[in-house]
Structure 1
Amino acid sequence: MARVHAFGDDALGDLDGIALAEEIRSGRVSRAEVVEAAISRAEAVNPKLNGLAYAAFDRARDQARQEMRSPSPQGGFFDGVPTFIKDNVDVAGVPSMHGTDAWQPFPAPKDSEITRLLLDTGLIALGKTQLSEFGFSASAEHPRLGAVRNPWHTDYTAGASSSGSGAFVAAGVVPIAHANDGGGSIRIPAAVNGLVGLKPSRGRLPLDPEFRRLPVGVVANGVVTRSVRDTAAIFREAERIWRNPKLPPIGDVTRPGKRRLKIGVITRSVEREAGPEVKQPTLKTAALLEELGHRVEHVDVLPVPGSFGDDFKLYWGLLALGQIGVGRRAFGPSFDRDRLDALTLGLARRARTSMHRLPVAIARLRRTRRHTAQLFRSYDALLTPTLADVTPPIGHLAPTDYQQLLDRLTDWVAFTPLHNVTGDPAISLPLAASADGLPVGMMLSAEVGHEARLLELAYELEEAHPPARIQD
């Protein structure tokens, strides 16, 4: 197995973000030492993983050397902890290429809202991470930019769209990296790279205006981390800076909850039954939850109309059509649609030829939350596999033949899109492994606003079943 990681005896060690922040606060390591170690790690693993979209190393070095600390952007809880920002949100002075090479790079004029929020927690951005083109595919395998590879085995995908972030956190380059999720793109790379990935409730973290204007608000910002406590701390610190008053606060979740819950277990998505290598770990996780005192019941199938899959694919196509439509206005006169990959063009074509069906599809998608809300009246949380099968090798999800790729994506990514449509929170946890030793994620979901419940469950499962470590 071709594992790639950068863990070693440097300023980063094998610490998570909370422990690293404490090392910096105590003076045992300096911000500059930590940032330099992260840069060295990125340079060591990127030739094999291909997770880097843009290096802002010198700027990070300058920021880390600053002696004077002000409340913003420096001085937050994670002051000095290195991170990466996914290359589909803006960082001032850095290009945003969205996983493609269809236009000439140019620097963004200002930070996006999520960039500013993350940096205000004290994180230092080393640059930007690679993704699939516009985030449409569950594997980043661009025909010219290359594939982002899984650090547990480089013959396999690192997932997508937040693939570069997932690969770098798993490989030990940084403890925390930005990710976002429009159909599973926080949870998928978390699952395949052995990480924690929480897609929060709709509106929990700020979004750029173009995402806020979507007819179905499928996109959510978040992070991928190696520990539950890092994920909980990021949301706690973000909430102290920016909070949506329409949602109940998450608060400071630091341990398992005491209340025993009623949890529904589902191994059949709207599309298909999970494959045996992920179904069996799901049932084992259900048994573990029972051992921990929770009441577990098996649910035959998600109560979602059979039209959901086709409606989501059509809406997916609308997003692709929109990206192409704003191409020159958003990305400049060098935008060349002929350089887009087969998935982007195929999805756009699907929407263009089925435009008459979109209003009904959007209306049905908006009503989907009624079905899950009914289920959450009976259960405190739901357990499913994150993905319907084990991680595929590089090439299986390459954007060459559009229809073949769409069929394979639909088959693999069968559980995650539902929560993007409903707005419900869902978290992928590294609780299992395939026969080949690749991570397999388990997913817990809850009703809108109940991230704290998911984090409490995540702490409990992490304690009962500590995740495998890539460096062991």
Structure 2
Amino acid sequence: MKDYDEYDATGLAELVATGQVTPRELVEAAISRIEERNPKINALSWTQFDAALAAAERPVSGPFAGVPFLAKDAGAAMRGEPHQFGCRVLREAGYVAENDSYLGIRFREAGFISLGRTTTPEFATSAVTESSATGITRNPWDLDRITGGSSGGAGAVVAARIIPAAHGNDGAGSIRIPAAATGCVGLKSTRARVSNGPDAGEIWQGFAHQGSLTRSVRDTAAILDAISGPFPGDPYVCPPPARPFVQEVGAPTGRLRIGVMTSLPGFDTHADCVTAVEDTVRMLEALGHEVVEAEPDAYGRWIDMLPVFTDLIASYVAADLKFIEMLAGRTVDITEFDSANQHYAGIGQHVTTADFIEAIDVLQRWGRDVASWWHEGNPEILLTPTIAGPAARIGELDIDLNDPEASLHRHYSFFPYTPAFNVSGQPAISLPMHRNAEGLPIGVQFVSAYGRDDVLIRLASQLEAAYPWDAHRPAWIAEPSA
């Protein structure tokens, strides 16, 4: 299927539904692109081509019936499939998931056909998708640059047009960061929109949310419809949408009042990212929206929250040591972790229970302060850069154990705009609205009030219709071979 690259997931599903192509033809097209393109980007941790081809021969149903798909190697577990969190210890142990996750079931019920899993940094704790288990994942737009993380493998396969949509999750920006770096659409939906069960009620105190990276807003909306909703035992649920999210695509937005912010205290923002926001402001005004400068005070205090956030994540990584030992069936030394997690685990082993609870309280209080801005007569939407610079060069953001504090701050400085909304639970979306002089995609972030994913989807689809972004692609994949 030579024109496979031209379709989003919804388009491919329509071809299957109307009998123009078969699921097998789509799976074969995806496999050929994996074989041709993945060696350059190294975005897959595991593949199951024979199983995918077999699945393509069985009856299919659901909104994405017959569409090839890849889940991240952290989340959306499926019983009997490798689910190794980018961890070399689990990879060497050959660990496979012991049960299905609710999310994995919903992807399967949506009709997607799984070809394997995408790469992630170990335990999904880094904005660089690189691990000792799977190596370096490279950005299709510049093979010497990172994809972002932690859903960097997902961003890479979508940007390289291997598949049109892929699973991702987001604990501090892990969908939005790679979306910005690789030129994808990346929505972090409202907290509890998608269940983490049955193995977890919440992840990282509710900061981590499940979703997807796509090339189109309609795919993002339709996938969210397919995977959202509570399951029995979930600790809390978010307000249900008034109607399916896919119905928000193309729906009138009305005249929105949008606040814009292009700097955060304590961090530098690259001129390319400021320009991306400024260009977007002009587009928004041309569409009839009111755009005003905004300075949400609580949002600007992220620099003060960093030590507390680090303690919290470090505590979870320290706990992961015991979890990995259980899954691997042997004693594991901290030095078997990758450098970032060695540093986190070292910190976490000295965080007391009282420190941990205090960190939760401080962050949750700050998250409420951030969210309250949307309920004080301020704009309905906040517009910011997604990340603070273009995709970094490989190695620039690695954690150096000889100088871990400085390198960790440099790492955090790459994505200061995203974590606040993991803490507050609000929906936030990165859109590929700009390209710099080098042709690298530059994303911008839109944020709405808690539960208002619908407003973001409406606005995103309006921007996509007025200023289409999907015509762009990395030069080396411009001419598919099949």
Report the TM-score, using the length of structure 2 for normalisation: 0.90
1:111 equivalenced with 2:108 (yes/no): no
How far the C-alpha of 1:210 sits from its partner, in A, is 5.3
| Alignment partners' CA distance in 2, 1:208 and 1:58 | 28
Identity %: 34
Q: Shift in Å at residue 256 of structure 1?
A: 4.3
Amino acid aligned to 1:456: R
1:150-181 CA distance string (max 9 Å, x none): 01111100111111111001111111110001
SS at match of 2:181: helix
**Cα shift readout 1:63-103 (whole Å, capped 9, x = no counterpart):** 0012xx3xxxx410100000001011222221111112123
Is 1:261 the counterpart of 2:256? The answer is yes
The CA distance in 1 between the partners of 2:225 and 2:334, in whole Å, is 41
What is the CA distance between 1:40 and its match in structure 2? 1.0
Alignment root-mean-square deviation, CA: 2.1
For 2:116, the equivalent position in structure 1 comes to 127
Say whether the 8 Å CA contact 2:119–2:134 is kept in structure 1: no
Is 1:136 the counterpart of 2:125? The answer is yes
Per-residue Cα deviation, 1:101-139 (whole angstroms, up to 9, x for no partner): 123112223222211111111101100111011111101
Q: Tell me how far apart the structure 1 counterparts of residues 433 and 297 of structure 2 sit (CA, whole Å).
A: 22
Which has the larger displacement, 214-223 or 270-279? 270-279
Q: Is residue 2:56 matched to residue 1:64?
A: yes
1:34-433 matches, cutoff 5 A: 34-66=26-58, 69=59, 74-89=60-75, 90-103=77-90, 104-143=93-132, 145-209=134-198, 211-214=200-203, 216-239=205-228, 246-249=238-241, 251=244, 252-269=247-264, 271-300=266-295, 302-304=297-299, 305=301, 307-333=304-330, 335-355=332-352, 356-377=354-375, 378-401=378-401, 402-433=404-435
Unaligned 5+ runs, structure 1: 1-8
How far is the alpha carbon of 1:238 from its aligned partner? Answer: 3.0
Give deviations 1:267-313, integer Å, cap 9, x for gaps.
Answer: 12354242211012112212221221111111235424452222212
Aligned-partner Cα distance in 2 for 1:240–1:208: 11
CA distance in 2, matches of 1:215, 1:197: 20
Q: CA deviation at 1:218?
A: 0.7
Structure 2 CA distance for aligned equivalents of residues 117 and 271 of structure 1: 41
Q: 4+ residue runs of structure 1 moved beyond 6 angstroms?
A: 240-244
Tell me the SS of whatever aligns to 2:248: coil
Distance 1:345 1:396, change over 3 A: same
Bigger mean CA offset, 441-450 vs 324-333: 324-333
Of stretches 412-421 and 323-332 in structure 1, the one that deviates more from structure 2 is 323-332
CA distance, structure 2, for counterparts of residue 466 and residue 213 of structure 1? 36
Q: Are residues 11 and 27 of structure 1, via their aligned partners in 2, closer, same or farther at CA, if it must alter by over 3 Å?
A: farther
Judging changes above 3 Å, is the alpha-carbon distance between structure 1 residues 245 and 135 closer, same or farther for their aligned structure 2 residues? closer
Aligned partners of 2:99 and 2:356: how far apart in 1? 34
| Aligned counterparts of 1:465 and 1:221: Cα–Cα separation in 2 | 27
Relative to structure 1, the CA distance from residue 444 to residue 331 in structure 2 (aligned partners, 3 Å threshold; closer, same or farther) is farther
Per the TM alignment, residue 199 of structure 1 is displaced from its structure 2 partner at its CA by 0.3
Partner of 1:6: none
8 Å contact from structure 2 (residues 431, 445) kept in 1: yes
| Residues 303-312 or 455-464, more deviating | 303-312
Q: Is the Cα–Cα contact under 8 Å of residues 238 and 451 in structure 2 kept in the other structure?
A: no
Q: What CA distance in whole angstroms lies between the structure 2 residues aligned with 1:202 and 1:121?
A: 21
Change (3 A) 1:196 1:371: same
Alignment check: 8 A CA contact 2:146 2:392 kept:
yes
What amino acid maps onto 1:446 in structure 2? S
Please say if residues 387 and 414 of structure 1, whose CA atoms lie closer than 8 Å, have aligned partners that are also in contact: yes
| Deviation at residue 314 of structure 1 after TM alignment | 1.6
Question: Cα distance, 1:240 vs. partner?
Answer: 7.8
Paired with 2:288 and 2:258, the residues of 1 have a C-alpha distance of 11
Using the TM superposition, name which of 276-285 and 120-129 deviates more. Answer: 276-285
Q: What is the distance in 2 between the residues matched to 1:48 and 1:188?
A: 21
CA distance in 2, matches of 1:207, 1:270: 33
Instruction: Tell me how far apart the structure 2 counterparts of residues 246 and 426 of structure 1 sit (CA, whole Å).
Output: 15
| Cα distance change of structure 1 residues 293 and 456 upon mapping to structure 2, 3 Å threshold | same
Q: Is the 8 A contact 1:269 1:302 kept in 2?
A: no
User: Relative to 1, partners in 2 of residues 1:437 and 1:150: Cα closer, same or farther, differing over 3 Å?
Assistant: same
2:324 corresponds to which letter in structure 1?
G
- TM-score, structure 1 as length reference: 0.92
Give 2:472's aligned residue: 469
How many equivalent residue pairs?
Answer: 458
| SS at structure 2 position matched to 1:58 | helix
